[in-house]
């Protein structure tokens, strides 16, 4: 039951935001048909500032965005993922929560969190194609920003309002953002140094000299002038 609901939600929402968890499951399926309307409704509501506890206590908390935040959609990334969907392989494998050195297919190192996190901190052990929040709620891969915000809340807020991250193409009109994982490899998020583009040419007639200090003239010293008085 849970899986099918999630699948519906994800299939229905190629768009960035899924529907609110407070909606009944039936409404969610209907929303898949009337997707544009549903998205509009979702944004116009944008709900409360922080995770809302649903009336149904079986559903976990989920972050629903900031009030007054400008609406946005996120550039989908699933098609670029070589191994996605994950259940291509993992369907036939037994879930193994044990912390261990991975061998085939995956990077064997995790340069993120300095040893404090592990695959299942972000990936859902049961539903292989999904990520999971700290409250064990499955989240679609294209909504990775919800996972990152679990720890990096300030960055996520800046990203939502446009002070961090990168907007696509326009400054006016529909706001499309790159996901956190477009720029930061989630398994090694630090940005690597790279070569700069060529330096500008030195102007004709000028010579490039480094380490020359121009600010002090030998003929004039501020302190000497004041000692006289």
Selected range binding other proteins among 55-63, 81-89, 140-148, 200-208, rule: CB under 8 A = 200-208
Q: Which is nearer to other proteins, 152 or 187 (CB)?
A: 152
From residue 39 to residue 78, what is the string marking binding to other proteins with x (rule CB under 8 A)? -----------------------------x-x--------
Instruction: Choose which of 169, 205, 217, 227 interacts with other proteins (CB under 8 A).
Output: 169
Write the burial class of residue 179 (CB in 10 Å: 0-12 exposed, 13-18 middle, 19+ buried): buried
Instruction: Choose which of 97, 196, 205, 218 interacts with other proteins (CB under 8 A).
Output: 196
Looking at residue 79, what DSSP letter applies?
G
Determine if 163 is a binding residue for other proteins (CB under 8 A): yes
Q: Which is nearer to other proteins, 108 or 170 (CB)?
A: 170
For the chain, how far is it from start to end, CA to CA, in angstroms?
90
Selected range binding other proteins among 41-49, 75-83, 121-129, 168-176, rule: CB under 8 A = 168-176
Q: Residues with Cβ < 8 Å from 79, sequence gap 6 or more?
A: none
User: Is residue 45 within 8 Å of residue 20, measured between CB atoms?
Assistant: yes
Looking at residue 185, what DSSP letter applies?
B
Q: Which is nearer to other proteins, 116 or 214 (CB)?
A: 214
**What phi and psi, each to the nearest 5 degrees, are found at residue 132?**
-135, 145
Q: Six-digit token pair at 205?
A: 């007639």
**Closest CA relative to residue 144, chosen from 183, 168, 176, 180:** 180
Least spacing, CB of residue 163 vs other proteins, in Å = 5
Q: Which is nearer to other proteins, 104 or 190 (CB)?
A: 190
Q: Six-digit token pair at 47?
A: 């709900």
Q: Residues with Cβ < 8 Å from 54, sequence gap 6 or more?
A: 21, 22
User: Is residue 67 within 8 Å of residue 48, measured between CB atoms?
Assistant: yes
**What phi and psi, each to the nearest 5 degrees, are found at residue 177?**
-115, 150
Determine if 116 is a binding residue for other proteins (CB under 8 A): no
Least spacing, CB of residue 159 vs other proteins, in Å = 9
Instruction: Choose which of 45, 166, 188, 221 interacts with other proteins (CB under 8 A).
Output: 166
Least spacing, CB of residue 141 vs other proteins, in Å = 21
Q: Which residues lie near other proteins (CB under 8 A)?
A: 68, 70, 158, 161-167, 169-173, 178, 183, 191, 193-202, 208, 210, 213-215
């Amino acid at each position: 039951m849970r899986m099918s609901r999630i699948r519906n939600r994800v299939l229905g929402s190629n768009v960035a935001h899924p529907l609110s968890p407070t909606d009944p499951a039936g409404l969610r399926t209907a929303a898949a048909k009337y997707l544009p309307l549903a998205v509009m409704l979702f944004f116009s509501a944008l709900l409360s500032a922080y995770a809302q506890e649903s009336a149904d206590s079986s559903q976990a908390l989920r972050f629903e965005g900031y009030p007054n935040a400008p609406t946005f959609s996120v550039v989908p990334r699933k098609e670029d993922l070589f191994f996605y969907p994950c259940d291509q392989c993992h369907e036939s494998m037994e879930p193994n929560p044990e912390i261990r050195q991975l061998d085939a297919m995956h990077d064997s190192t995790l340069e993120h969190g300095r040893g404090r996190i592990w695959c299942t901190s972000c990936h859902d052990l049961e539903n292989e194609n999904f990520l999971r929040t700290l409250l064990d709620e499955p989240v679609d891969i294209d909504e990775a920003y919800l996972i990152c915000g679990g720890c990096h809340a300030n960055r996520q807020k800046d990203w939502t309002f446009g002070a961090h991250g990168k907007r696509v193409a326009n400054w006016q009109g529909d706001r499309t953002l790159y996901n956190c994982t477009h720029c930061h490899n989630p398994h090694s998020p630090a940005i690597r140094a790279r070569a700069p583009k060529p330096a500008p040419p030195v102007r004709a007639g000028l010579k490039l000299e480094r380490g020359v200090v121009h600010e002090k003239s030998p003929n004039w010293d501020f302190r000497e002038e004041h000692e006289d008085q």
